[in-house]
């Protein structure tokens, strides 16, 4: 399975998050874990696509550099949302409060999942069948 396929498969699972018991701490933890994985898959897909587009920045391993470079290539990325996602991804291991975890889950549901969906839809529209190699 390729990176874009993994990205899409994980997103399909994350899309079901709002149908779960959002008061259950195991569900909350699972949603946060799925978000973490989805973010990792996202920036790695963007990295591969930047490489495909011939961008030198794709040689770096930095998620921040990849995301910033992707803004200049893909106009459908919301810089504010993606930089917020990066910060939340970096802070995930430091969430000790149940209330903070619930707030993050709400942000995942209302802002981050729609951003992941947008990426999938726009990349499919832009690259079509060429994503099979990514």
Domain enclosing residue 111, as ranges: 3-129
Please indicate, yes or no, if residue 134 is contained in any of the structural domains: no
Cβ–Cβ under 8 Å, residues 8 and 120: yes
Reported as a single tens digit per residue, the pLDDT across 25-64 is 999 999 999 999 999 999 999 999 999 999 998 988 789 9
Residue 74 lies in a domain: yes
Has residue 120 been placed in a domain? yes
Specify the pTM: 0.93
CATH of the domain at 10: 1.20.120
Q: Structurally, how many domains does the chain consist of?
A: 1
**Is the residue at 68 inside a domain?**
yes
């Amino acid at each position: 399975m390729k990176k874009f396929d993994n990205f899409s498969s994980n997103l399909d699972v994350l899309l079901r998050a709002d149908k779960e018991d959002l008061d259950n701490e195991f569900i909350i933890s699972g949603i946060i874990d799925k978000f973490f994985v989805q973010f990792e898959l996202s920036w790695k897909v963007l990295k591969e696509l930047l490489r495909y587009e011939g961008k030198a920045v794709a040689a770096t391993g930095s998620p921040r550099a990849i995301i910033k470079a992707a803004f200049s290539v893909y106009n459908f990325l919301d810089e504010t949302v993606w930089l917020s996602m990066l910060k939340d991804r970096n802070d995930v291991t430091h969430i000790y409060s149940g209330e903070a975890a619930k707030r993050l889950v709400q942000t995942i549901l209302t802002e981050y999942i729609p951003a992941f969906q947008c990426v999938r839809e726009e990349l499919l529209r832009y690259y079509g069948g060429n994503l099979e190699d990514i």
